[in-house]
């Protein structure tokens, strides 16, 4: 017997243990039409892929827990005619073999088989509320099983959101996930270096975006993990700026928030640098404050600190910096207490990172921020966004800076996955001067 399990099989086994009794039904994502006959580039459902490694559309994972646990896949049948047009499909037999399922069936048999499999199961584990069409289909199937009550067959009484179990599992990255995330981070760091080497006054933001995408793609990362933000000058003060169509001006900063997806895992890096390769004194003053805030936050991202420790560490440095720059007045404690810093720093310092760029995982347990533990992956991304205002020194107007790295908590502290993207003033100016 083959006892060595793939990471996907190991995760299925763990989920089956956590379920104890019942049936789990986890569909992958649907294909989505863009317009006419075009579809958006297909992206599997993260939970489905986490448990299967299977990236074809029209597939459903079914797990039956209990004394004889079973993992089943429903997927598209082989279809040589369709494969001529759309490419390879595994089909149930090859999929069962290759992805380690106990059984695999054509997706067309899903309803019929589920009606049997749901019978006499005490609980249904399903992502209820995620997709209305699936909700309707699954609840209708459960209704059909309920209608068999007189023949002694019971439908699952309990419906549990399977995502509750999965988000806790996904929060702790295993070795397989970390090796993919390191690769995604390294490719994204190369893309940021390339952007720094390429950028000149007079270019358009989309030209720099093209360099990022080129570097992602040439390393096999075909898609960004989210729409790249390439924001010159004042555009950097729009947190979710994605137009990327303005011309870059001599003397402005360029903020790039871009990361690729590799094998279903996201990276998420932000760097800011001067379009002409040299920080002005005012830009440098603000940049050094954000960088110091980020260093303090990364230092606080370690086991046994709570989730908000990095944020609080960044806030103290930013508050002092904003006082020094005459953006805020009073003491650090007063700035934190009054939240006057929020005019210039209005977001939090990070989020969980994984298959989704804003990954799943609870931030609080009950009323308390949760404790950081080895295997958790997060971003650390303080910033400062200064819009023109009468009470703001004019030299600082329209400066928008964010510095973002991807960090994994380790037993000793943390591992920064994205350190290859230059970040100090000297590193950035040095790289841009060479190019
Ligand atoms: N790029 C999305 C974020 O930084 O949260
Ligand atoms: Mn982020
Ligand atoms: Mn980002």
Reading the chain (435 residues) residue by residue, the pLDDT tens digits are 457 899 999 999 999 999 999 999 999 999 999 999 999 999 999 999 999 999 999 999 999 999 999 999 999 999 999 999 999 999 999 999 999 999 999 999 999 999 999 999 999 999 999 999 999 999 999 999 999 888 899 999 999 999 999 999 999 999 999 999 999 999 999 999 999 999 999 999 999 999 999 999 999 999 999 999 999 999 999 999 999 999 999 999 999 999 999 999 999 999 999 999 999 999 999 999 999 999 999 999 999 999 999 999 999 999 999 999 999 999 999 999 999 999 999 999 999 999 999 999 999 999 999 999 999 999 999 999 999 999 999 999 999 999 999 999 999 999 999 999 999 999 999 999 998
Nearest CA to ligand 1 atom 3: 268
Residue 198 vs residues 108, 278, 285, 432: alpha-carbon distances, Å: 51, 14, 24, 8
Q: DSSP state, 340?
A: G
Closest Cα partner for 373 from 303, 309, 310?
303
Nearest protein Cα to ligand 1, atom 5: 358
Q: Which residue has the tokens 């991807």?
A: 406
Per DSSP, the residues of 269-291 read EEEEEETTSS--HHHHHHHHHHH
Task: Return the pLDDT at 149.
Answer: 84
Please check whether residue 92 is in contact with residue 61, taking contact to mean a CB–CB distance below 8 angstroms. Answer: no
Q: Ligand 1 pocket test: pick from 240, 242, 257, 267 the residue with the most ligand atoms within 8 Å of its Cβ.
A: 257
CATH, range 7-167: 3.40.350.10
**20-66: per-residue pLDDT in tens?**
999 999 999 999 999 999 999 999 999 999 999 999 999 999 999 99
Q: How far is the CA of 403 from the centre of ligand 1 (A)?
A: 11
Residue 274: the pLDDT is 98
Centre of ligand 3 to C-alpha 270, Å, is 6
Ligand 2 center from residue 110 Cα (angstroms)? 38
Task: Give DSSP secondary structure letters for 353-394.
Answer: -SSSSS----SEETTEEPBP-TTBEEEE--EEE----TTS-G
Rounded Cα–Cα distance for residues 79 and 89 (Å): 8
- CATH 3.40.350.10 in the chain is located at 7-167
Residues with CB under 5 A from ligand 3 (ion): 257, 268, 404
What is the tens place of the pLDDT at every residue in 364-373?
A: 999 999 999 9
CB of 357 within 6 A of ligand 1: the answer is yes
Q: Round to whole Å and give the CA distance between 51 and 105.
A: 17
Atom of ligand 1 nearest to the CA of 270: 4
Instruction: Ligand 1, residue 225: give the atom nearest the CA.
Output: 1
Residue ranges, CATH 3.90.230.10, the chain: 172-434
Distance CA 50, CA 177 (A): 10
- By DSSP bridging, strand 383-385 and strand 377-380 are unpaired
**Beta carbons of 270 and 351 less than 8 angstroms apart:** no
SS3 sequence, 236-272?
HHCCCCCCCCCECCCCCEEEEEECEEECCEECCEEEE
Per CATH, is 172-434 categorized as 3.90.230.10? Answer: yes
- Catalytic positions are 37, 240, 257, 268, 347, 351, 358, 381, 385, 402, 404
- Cα 255 to ligand 1 centre (Å): 12
Ligand 1 centroid from CA 182, angstroms: 17
Buried b (16+ CB within 10 A) or exposed e, 162-175: bbebbbebbbebee
Please tell me if the CB atom of residue 226 comes closer than 6 angstroms to any atom of ligand 1. yes
Indicate which atom in ligand 1 lies nearest the CA of residue 268.
1
Model pLDDT, residue 2: 56
Check pocket membership of 241 for ligand 1, CB cut-off 6 A: no
Q: Is 90 in the pocket of ligand 1 (CB under 6 A)?
A: no
* Neighbour count for residue 81 (Cβ, 10 Å): 7
SS3 39: strand
359 lines ligand 1 (CB under 6 A): no
Pocket test for ligand 1, best of 184, 226, 350 (most atoms within 8 A of CB): 226
Q: Separation of 61 CA from ligand 3 center, angstroms? A: 31
Whole-model pTM: value is 0.97
């Amino acid at each position: 017997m083959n006892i060595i399990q793939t990471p996907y099989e190991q995760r299925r086994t763990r989920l089956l243990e956590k379920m104890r009794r019942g049936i789990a039904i986890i569909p992958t994502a649907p294909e989505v039409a863009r317009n006419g006959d075009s579809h958006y580039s297909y992206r599997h459902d993260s939970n489905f892929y986490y448990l299967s490694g299977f990236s074809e559309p029209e597939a459903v994972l079914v797990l039956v827990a209990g004394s004889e646990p079973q993992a089943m896949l429903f997927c598209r049948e082989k279809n040589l005619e369709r494969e001529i047009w759309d490419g390879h499909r595994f089909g149930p037999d090859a999929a069962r073999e290759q992805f380690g399922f106990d059984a695999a069936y054509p997706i067309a048999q899903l309803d019929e088989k589920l009606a049997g499999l749901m019978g006499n199961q005490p609980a249904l584990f399903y992502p209820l509320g995620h997709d209305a069409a699936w909700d309707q289909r699954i609840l209708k199937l459960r209704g059909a099983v309920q209608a068999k009550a007189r023949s002694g067959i019971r439908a699952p009484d309990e419906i549990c959101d399977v995502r509750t179990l999965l988000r806790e599992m996904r929060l702790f990255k295993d070795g397989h996930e970390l090796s993919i995330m390191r690769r995604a981070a390294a490719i994204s760091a190369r893309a940021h270096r390339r952007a720094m080497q390429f950028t000149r006054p007079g270019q358009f933001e989309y030209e720099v975006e093209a360099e990022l995408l080129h570097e992602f793609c040439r390393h096999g990362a075909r898609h960004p993990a989210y729409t790249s933000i390439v924001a010159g000058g004042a555009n950097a003060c729009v947190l979710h700026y994605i137009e990327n169509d303005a011309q870059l001006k001599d003397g402005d900063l360029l903020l790039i928030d871009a990361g690729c997806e590799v094998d279903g895992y996201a990276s998420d890096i932000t760097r800011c640098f001067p379009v002409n390769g040299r920080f002005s004194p005012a830009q440098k003053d603000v940049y050094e404050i954000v960088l110091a805030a980020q260093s303090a936050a990364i230092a606080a991202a370690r086991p046994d600190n709570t989730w908000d420790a990095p944020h609080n560490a960044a806030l103290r440095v930013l508050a002092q910096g904003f006082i020094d720059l005459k953006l805020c007045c009073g003491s650090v404690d007063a700035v934190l207490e009054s939240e006057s810093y929020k005019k210039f720093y209005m977001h939090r310092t990070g989020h969980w990172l994984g298959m989704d760029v804003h990954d799943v995982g609870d931030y609080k347990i009950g009323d308390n921020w949760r404790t950081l533990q080895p295997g958790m992956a997060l971003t650390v991304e303080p910033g400062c966004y200064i819009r023109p205002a009468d009470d703001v020194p004019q030299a600082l107007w329209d400066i928008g800076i964010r510095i973002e790295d991807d960090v994994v908590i380790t037993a000793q502290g943390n591992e920064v996955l994205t350190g290859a993207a230059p970040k100090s003033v000297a590193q950035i100016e040095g790289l841009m001067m060479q190019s």
